[in-house]
Structure formats: structure tokens, C-alpha cells
Structure 1
Amino acid sequence: MTTTSESTTTTSAQQYMGAVAPKLASLTDDVLYNDIWARPELAARDRSLITVAALISGGNHEQLRYHLNLALKNGVTETELVEVITHIAFYAGWPKAISAVTVAKAVFGPISL
């Protein structure tokens, strides 16, 4: 996501971390989003499912909110994301899944399946 002013374009990565870690913001934009996420071998929907599973597995819940929202934009349903969380509980650990549910509740609102 980018915002544009008169002559500059600022990406979400630049807004979030550019003042502290400009090179990391640049790598995020140039390599991660403009290369890895753009590769045609996997659809953005599939990449979102993989990313959500990896973030939960690694206990990286700080970034999970952003990627749950991105997954929804990429066509993954709330029901599918909750199923990912449930499935991951048995492979990555119950506490990580419960923490992910907390983040999902904040993103989706109350979960009632």
C-alpha cells in the first residue's frame, strides 16, 4: 500500500519502519512485496494462507493482524482462517493457536462458527 504526496510515494513499510530501519523498509518493498509476493507460481490467496500459518507457527503474533486483514483482501474467508488456526494448534502448539485466536477476534470481531 502506498500514499502519494506531490512528488513522493510512501509505502506502508516506509511509514512503519522507514525512520528507524530504512534499508529493511526498502528490502520489504523491493524484495518481499514487489518480487516474492508478485511471483506467479502461487496465488496471493495461497501466499496469505502460508504466511498466516508461518506467523502462527513462529509465534509472531505482532504481524498476524496485518496478514489476517491481507488474507481477507486476498479472498481467504474468516472461516478458512479460523480453520488454519485450529489446524496449526496440533502442529505448532496450543498456546500459539490460542494467541492467534485473540488476534483473530480483534480483526474479525467475535468468532461464532
Structure 2
Amino acid sequence: MSTLVGTGHKTMGSVAPKLAEISDAVLFGDIWERAALSKRDRSLVTVAALIALYRQEQLPFHLSKAVEHGVTREELTEVVTHLAFYAGWPAAASAVKLLESL
């Protein structure tokens, strides 16, 4: 079972218990466990999507998880640099600020 299971309960269980339950069961218990992509690759995809969609609130958690899943800071910096041209300079610049805290 994923080390991510329980994250939904911890982060939103007291306010939105059903959303927490679904997040733990489906997102973290099923999607993150599918064998077609490694957790490392899933982390890269997730971080890229969060940067591109400017989801700054979710990004610190997933940057940390990416490092836990074997993504290096250098690789994360490269993702941010690459996305500056596809997702926009402000989104990349904001992500750089979050990378500093890793």
C-alpha cells in the first residue's frame, strides 16, 4: 500500500471526510499504485501539472514527495525551467520560490 494513503484524511478529513476517503482510496490507494508509471514518474508529472496549473497550495507537498520518490532538486529545477516556456514565466518563477524551501 502507498505511503500516500492517509494523506487525504490528514489534510482534509475533518472538513470533507468523504473527499478525504475518496482521495485515500482512489487517488492514493489506486492511481498512485498503478504499475505503468513509477512513483518517480508520477511525481514528475504531478509537479509539472501543478506548476502549469498554478496550484501553489498543493505544490510544496508534491515537491517533497517527488524528492522522496527519487527526483533530484536539479531535475525539479529543470522541470521548472522547461515549463517557463510552456506554462508561463510567472508560474515558473513562483515554483522556484517553493523549490528554495526544499
Counterpart for residue 55 of structure 1: 50
Q: How many residues matched?
A: 100
SS at match of 1:56: helix
Distance 1:33 1:99 in 2: 26
Counterpart for residue 26 of structure 2: 31
* Structure having the larger proportion of residues in strand: 1
Runs of 4+, deviation exceeding 2 Å: none
Query: Could you tell me the TM-score, scaled by structure 2's length?
Result: 0.93
Give the drift of 1:29: 0.3
Give the drift of 1:103: 0.7
Please tell me whether Structure 1 or Structure 2 has the larger radius of gyration of its CA atoms. Answer: 1
Give the drift of 1:75: 0.5
Counterpart for residue 93 of structure 1: 88
Give the drift of 1:13: 1.7
Query: Could you tell me the TM-score, scaled by structure 1's length?
Result: 0.84
Distance 1:80 1:68 in 2: 11
Could you say which structure has the greater relative contact order, defined with CA pairs below 8 angstroms and 6 or more residues apart?
2
Counterpart for residue 13 of structure 1: 8
Q: Identity, % of aligned pairs?
A: 53
Q: Which runs of 5+ in 2 are unaligned?
A: none
Give the drift of 1:11: 2.1
CA-atom RMSD in angstroms: 1.4
Distance 1:83 1:40 in 2: 25
Matching residue's letter, 1:90 = F
SS at match of 2:70: coil
Distance 2:92 2:13 in 1: 31
Q: Which runs of 5+ in 1 are unaligned?
A: 3-9, 108-113
